[in-house]
Chain A
């Protein structure tokens, strides 16, 4: 008798446990998801791209362009002294082709820029500061180890010991590219060379994810613009993790699968200020 009772009890316990559901979500609800990809450089106009999030599995073609690229937002920046609504621009060589750009307000070293975006009742805000300039000592090329017909670009950078500095590098091959392309491992801080000068290589970056060729060198006779910028800590954290996510996606043996830390309040993405230093190199 006791045997049956015990069996019953245990079977009931099993059913109780089986009925536990799998649902432990902390669903934050559906909201319009606006992505900001914006920056302002010294002496240049502010430039902000606004897009909408897309589903994990989706098919996009040009008919969905206006659903994804936002062209109906009010975008305003202010530098503490003046403020301005950005104009919607179109450039067929840009990606995406629509973006917002300032007219009066240009970047100035040391200033803080507030960004405010109003889109169908949602308001997003962000802030960034343009730090002190990059001190690039020299830029040169050497023959590439991988392919002797190509060249690797190197630069020498001197760091300010008084503060924590964050840098990023871009290249643009004038004959081939309309915009700057960030290099491979483009974002770095001054941890390993604080207060001293250091020589670093440039690894030419890929324009987009599915271009998997890892060709880090430049072809002879190309004219290359090398842009080095200094940026603030929020921008550094964002771009550093962006690169890891992009590079490691698809590789189960690498660390990935985490969210980018955005400095946009109410949205996603980045608003950053750059203090840039541009160098022209003719690859010989």
Chain B
């Protein structure tokens, strides 16, 4: 009897397992062209008469019994597809979707974004790969930072590296490439950013309140994500241009992993060097060369349906060489970034996303000059290692995020070695320092009604400057009175940063909304620039007792409206204060014989402005217009006698007008016109003779403005071949199409004969880039 019961139970048990066991199946919907995940795609499984929508990571989860299923996936702009799969265990699938625009011979209408600008985060600008092709590419290179600069609130000045966001300086932008910090995002006088556009999938710029896990800089966060490496088998593209060429390739390593590699190299002597040689007044015996390269590597591994591992690496360098045979002067300057990140993303079925990121970033700058027997080598640099954990839970009406980020940063604020022949005349020891910073953050976003939602958050950031090191003490006459020596890991200076923020969104109607953000920010890092212009001889410094942590507040209010589905308009107003900004006391610094100590001073910055923009995002004709009025002022007790003066990038008026027009499926035209107020400069009050030379005496700082800057760029794209497997596209672009000489530098000249007292003194504005036409060819496989 008992044996019968046992057998029945056994059969029953086996039958239960056979017929009622369910498995978890996670489907990820991906664009087969760009490998970008598609949010809000609809996946329907007819066998269970049920469907679901993919989340922001492109995922949707099903619990199904073992068996054969059809997954019907549909998404606006893509061909509806059915994927047949046999489910035998817990699995994850990737559903590759093909955009419908590809094979149609008639005009394509594609949406640029699926995000509603009304509910989009305040002060956020998002760009994806398609947006990059909207403005004319320069020399065949579409550029992320230049694309942001036409949207309003972001200034990209010609010939200057980095960007200025809402009146903040360049190092106040946290720039992330796959979550690793990039310290210098520019190549070659800021002409290009270091991010090759082919490998970027999306870029988000936050001008005020960024998501809570980002912080540490006062003005903005630029979060750039590269394309995932996942691909069907192998794919890639080659871009050959007049100025540089690049290629990338992605390979499938296994069912669950893939690798992507890219490389870009310039050969600038053809076009850019002649322009540079023209403005630098060195005689014809001088020979100059400039080059840069970028390389990236990315490995994606889907461990299982809930876990994804991504490893990203980037390395790039610029090198500038100058030789003058007559004076035996030889000069080499090189600088570059290397960044690395490893991210583990975990998704749970209860809408919890967790990310653990380890990253390491290095930037260094090296200068070497040799003239006859005298040689000088200067280097500066910064390196940062960090580990961050973020936990995010989303429900219908609320989302909360919390986590911790720990970072250790090492600074080289000036290492010099100088020699005459072989005798060492190095003036001082290397200025090395190190700091530790932890960020604890939490934010809570809640929808209080169908119209109103609020986000509040707090970051708590303890920071310490650690020994070994020497701290100098100065009296009020700037005389060195003491220097204190610290040992390994002894705390030299500490600061607790508190960063509360609150952002609110109110939907006024189905078409418009009002948003506001109030944010407090801290920055435990400073940067001062050694030279008056573009070579990135920058010194990164940690916050210390002589240069305390920067703090500031920003309030912004905005209104967004979608006029029709394809038009939207927005206006925002902002005001910012920034404390403990850092400058050189005397406005200059001669690194070769002085150390930094005692040469830096602190002050305050104020910035306010209004940003207006209109965009059209659908149709054959797309484009936008933005107008920004902004002022950025500084007040330093030891500069300009404590009077307010304009920051060097203060430009009250900025206008951008851009458009792209698809004449047919093969031909597209694009144009961009930008206007901005002239750059401020310090005009001398008068000149005077010392010996037989004329010396400038400068009055107040930045008291004059150069003539206004404006420029037209034009671009033409022609697609020769456009099939499932290959695209061949040619591009012609003209930078500065009407060849305006936009002032970049002021040159004070003397013509004549001093001894005969017959002299003409002049002030000329020198421009940087004249009309620059170029072409390039792009091919994918």
Contact = CB atoms under 8 A, between A and B. Distances in A.
Given A17-B608, A201-B372, A253-B280, A2 B508 contact: yes
B426 A22 contact: no
A268 B326 contact: no
Nearest to A49: B689
B320 to A, nearest CB: 9
A269 B534 CA distance: 31
A209 B692 CA distance: 8
Interface stretch (A99-107, A108-116, A238-246): A238-246
Given A24-B700, A53-B688, A10 B571 contact: yes
Given A53-B686, A65-B757, 13 more contacts: A22-B705, A26-B641, A53-B688, A58-B760, A145-B328, A189-B593, A209-B692, A253-B280, A253-B533, A254-B531, A255-B590, A258-B587, A259-B698
Interface of B: 279-283, 324, 326-329, 372-374, 418, 420-421, 423-427, 508-509, 512, 514, 530-535, 557, 559, 571, 573, 586-590, 593, 608-610, 612, 629, 631, 633, 640-641, 643-646, 652, 682-700, 703, 705, 744-745, 747-752, 754-763, 766
A134 to B, nearest CB: 18
A38 B559 CA distance: 65
Contacts of B687: 53-56
A257 interface: yes
21 contacts: A22-B652, A22-B705, A24-B633, A27-B699, A28-B699, A53-B686, A53-B697, A55-B761, A56-B748, A58-B761, A62-B758, A96-B757, A191-B593, A199-B420, A201-B373, A201-B374, A203-B372, A246-B695, A253-B535, A257-B532, A258-B588
A6 B590 contact: no
B530 A255 contact: yes
A208 B631 contact: no
A22 B573 CA distance: 20
Contacts of A216: 327, 372
A198 B423 contact: yes
Contacts of B531: 253-255
A17 B420 contact: no
Contact of B610 (A17, A24, A33): A17
B55 to A, nearest CB: 33
A20 B589 CA distance: 33
A217 to B, nearest CB: 10
Contact of A61 (B509, B593, B757): B757
Interface in A222-267: 240, 242, 244-246, 249-260
A252 B275 CA distance: 13
A118 to B, nearest CB: 19
Contact of A24 (B532, B646, B756): B646
A57 B686 contact: no
B690 A251 contact: no
Contact of A209 (B640, B644, B693): B693
A60 B757 CA distance: 7
Contact of A54 (B324, B514, B761): B761
B692 A95 contact: yes
Nearest to B280: A251
Contacts of A53: 686-688, 697
A17 B694 contact: no
Nearest to B681: A257
A127 interface: no
A214 interface: yes
Contacts of A61: 757-758
Nearest to B701: A24
Contact of B328 (A20, A96, A146): A146
Contacts of B329: 214
A124 to B, nearest CB: 14
B629 A268 contact: no
A18 B512 CA distance: 26
Contacts of B645: 24
B506 to A, nearest CB: 10
Which of B695, B745, B752, B759: most chain A CB closer than 10 A? B695
Nearest to A214: B327
B754 A18 contact: no
Contacts of B754: 95, 208
Contacts of B610: 10, 13-14, 17
Contacts of B759: 59-60
A146 to B, nearest CB: 6
Contact of A56 (B326, B427, B559, B696): B696
Given A17-B608, A56-B748, A256-B588, A51 B372 contact: no
Contacts of B327: 146, 214, 216
B756 A62 contact: yes
Nearest to A247: B693
A3 B512 contact: yes
Contacts of B426: 192
A27 B641 CA distance: 11
Nearest to B508: A3
A51 B609 contact: no
Nearest to B750: A210
A14 B644 CA distance: 22
A35 interface: yes
Interface in A104-153: 145-146, 152
A10 B612 CA distance: 10
A241 B148 CA distance: 40
A14 B573 CA distance: 8
B680 to A, nearest CB: 9
A207 B559 CA distance: 64
Contact of B694 (A10, A22, A95, A209): A209
A181 to B, nearest CB: 8
A37 interface: yes
Contacts of A89: none
A25 B701 CA distance: 8
Contacts of A7: 559, 571
Given A7-B559, A95-B692, A257 B587 contact: yes
Nearest to A30: B685
Contacts of A96: 689, 757
Contacts of B646: 22, 24
A68 B690 CA distance: 13
A198 B531 CA distance: 30
A126 B755 CA distance: 28
A193 B329 CA distance: 24
A145 B688 CA distance: 37
B589 A26 contact: no
Given A62-B758, A255-B589, A256-B588, A35 B688 contact: yes
A254 B420 contact: no
Contacts of A10: 557, 559, 571, 573, 610
A46 interface: no
Nearest to B333: A253
A62 B755 CA distance: 10
A212 interface: yes
A198 B425 CA distance: 10
Contacts of A212: 283
B156 to A, nearest CB: 18
B400 to A, nearest CB: 30
Contact of B700 (A26, A64, A210): A26
Nearest to A34: B688
B373 A6 contact: no
B403 to A, nearest CB: 36
Nearest to A35: B688
Nearest to B642: A26
Interface in A192-208: 192-193, 198-201, 203, 207-208
Interface in A141-176: 145-146, 152
Given A145-B328, A208-B754, A214-B327, A259 B697 contact: yes
A275 interface: no
A145 B421 CA distance: 13
A35 B690 contact: yes
A24 B680 CA distance: 12
A244 B590 contact: yes
Given A3-B508, A17-B610, A245 B533 contact: no
